[in-house]
Amino acid sequence: MKAWVVHELGGPESLRFEDVDAGAPVAGEVRIKIHAASINFPDVLMVAGLYQVKPDLPFVPGIEASGEVVKAPAASGFKPGDRVMAMLDNAGLTHGGYAELADAAARSVMRMPPSMPFDEAAGFTIVFQTGWFALHRRANLQPGETLLVHAGAGGVGSAAIQLGKAAGATVIATAGSDEKVAVCRKLGADHAINYKTQDFVEEVKRITGGRGADVVFDPVGGDVFDRSTKCVAFEGRIVVIGFTSGRIPQAATNHVLIKNYSVVGLHWGLYAKRMPELITVAERALTELYEAGKIKPYVSTRLPLTQAPRALALVAEGKSTGKVVLTISS
């Protein structure tokens, strides 16, 4: 099979397109013929050797894909031809998504919602599960509350906007360009702020009549986190999702105390290990929302597998909106 392989850590240009001997499926795992693979920000970090998970070299990047089952152990509950989406762990050359085939642990394979196309399915699980756990499990978002979503036009941000609206919240989104602000509005944000030309703290206070946001969804960190503490409401919750700004901020606990707010973390991947039953609860809820037309993965860019370095660079440079997806038609 053809696959993009990382032999040396670095930027997107360090990927090599190669023939990889897929051999027989890894024992006990589900072999999937990949139709689409999405680019996630952690791919950028993993290829550079900067992610908490560091696969042995060489490895095939790509932690999320959709496709058809080719072969599956009887105990897995899957059979050839099933349309599935899978989380991939990059351990070994048949475990990454930037490839024509991948082997995945059965517990990491889910059935696609029946009406969902492969490109949407490749970009569905991580961003919507992250959004669901952040808003419902960690922040307990309530109808009528105000949700502030940073990097609203990005992958997890685009999902959080839609989930916030589906939950009955008023959604304020921030983004780094007028084009991205327009994307946030299209995704359903009630208010969208270009944080490069407007002061989002002042805007959030103005929109909320001085109260601030009840829940802040923060995949950016750095100054964005620091400034969010200035516009979080009494009893508000700031959910720490990631640090695309490149700086891990420090929470001032005296400020947390005097303003009565919470800083809560979310590491979605840990739920698969610690509370897998909740992943299934979220999967059911998300499938229902999708089938009801209330959420939809925002796939902004589709590129063929041969253009994986370009696709990865778009995400690495913060130039993408929504999901960038590799389409694979072998």
Q: How far is CA 188 from the centre of its chain?
A: 18
* Residue 242 binds ligand NAP, judged by CB under 6 A: yes
| Cα atoms found within 13 Å of the Cα of residue 37, Cβ hemisphere only | 32
Told to check if 48 binds ligand NAP by CB under 6 A, we report no
Q: How far is the CB of 165 from ligand NAP (least distance, A)?
A: 18
Say whether residue 46 binds ligand NAP (CB under 6 A). Answer: no
Which residues have a Cβ under 8 Å from the Cβ of 285 and sit 6 or more positions away?
132
CA 289, 241, 62, 123: dihedral to nearest 10 degrees?
Answer: 20
Establish if 66 lies at the interface with ligand NAP (CB under 6 A). no
Q: Residue 176 is which amino acid?
A: G
Select from 113, 219, 297, 309 the one that contacts ligand NAP (CB under 6 A). 219
Whole-number Å distance between alpha carbons of 116 and 119:
8
CA gap 312, 315 in Å, rounded: 5
Using the minimum distance from each CB to ligand NAP, give the nearer residue, 72 or 151.
151
- Is the separation of the CB atoms in 124 and 194 below 8 Å? no
The nearest distance, CB 186 to ligand NAP, in angstroms, is 14
Q: Say whether the peptide bond before residue 117 is cis (omega within 30 degrees of 0).
A: no
Among 170, 245, 287, 301, binds ligand NAP (CB under 6 A): 245
132 touches ligand NAP (CB under 6 A): no
Which segment (77-85, 102-110, 261-269, 292-300) binds ligand NAP by CB under 6 A? 261-269
In 3-state terms, what secondary structure has residue 289? Answer: helix
Asked if residue 128 lies in contact with residue 286, where contact means CB atoms within 8 angstroms, the answer is yes
SS3 of 136, please? helix
User: Are 200 and 180 spatial neighbours (Cβ–Cβ below 8 Å)?
Assistant: no
Residue 318 interacts with ligand NAP (CB under 6 A): yes or no: yes
Residue 90 Rama label (left phi>0; alpha psi -120 to 50; beta): left
In angstroms, give the least distance from the CB of 8 to ligand NAP: 22
* Alpha carbons 154 and 181: distance in angstroms, whole number: 11
Residues 6+ apart with CB under 8 A from 57: 6, 7, 8, 9
**What is the sign of the dihedral through the CA atoms of 25, 31, 37 and 41?**
negative
Of 170, 229, 244, 287, the residue at the interface with ligand NAP (CB under 6 A) is 244
Q: Does 295 bind ligand NAP (CB under 6 A)?
A: no
Using CB under 6 A as the binding rule, whether residue 299 contacts ligand NAP is answered as no
Residue 156 makes contact with ligand NAP by CB under 6 A: yes
Q: Given the complex with ligand NAP, which of 31 and 180 has the nearer CB atom?
A: 180
The residue type found at 242 is G
Q: Is 154 a binder of ligand NAP (CB under 6 A)?
A: yes
Q: Which of 211, 247, 255, 267 lies at the binding interface for ligand NAP (CB under 6 A)?
A: 267
274: Cβ–Cβ under 8 A, 6 or more apart, which residues?
Answer: none
CB of 123 to ligand NAP, least distance (A): 9
x/- mask, ligand NAP, residues 109-128, rule CB under 6 A, reads: -----------------x--
Residue 175 lies near ligand NAP (rule: CB under 6 A): yes
Show the binding pattern over residues 179-218: x = contacts ligand NAP (CB under 6 A), - = does not: -x--------------------------------------
40 lies in the site for ligand NAP, by CB under 6 A: yes
Binding site for ligand NAP (CB under 6 A): 40-42, 126, 130, 151, 153-157, 175-176, 180, 219-220, 241-246, 266-268, 315, 318, 320
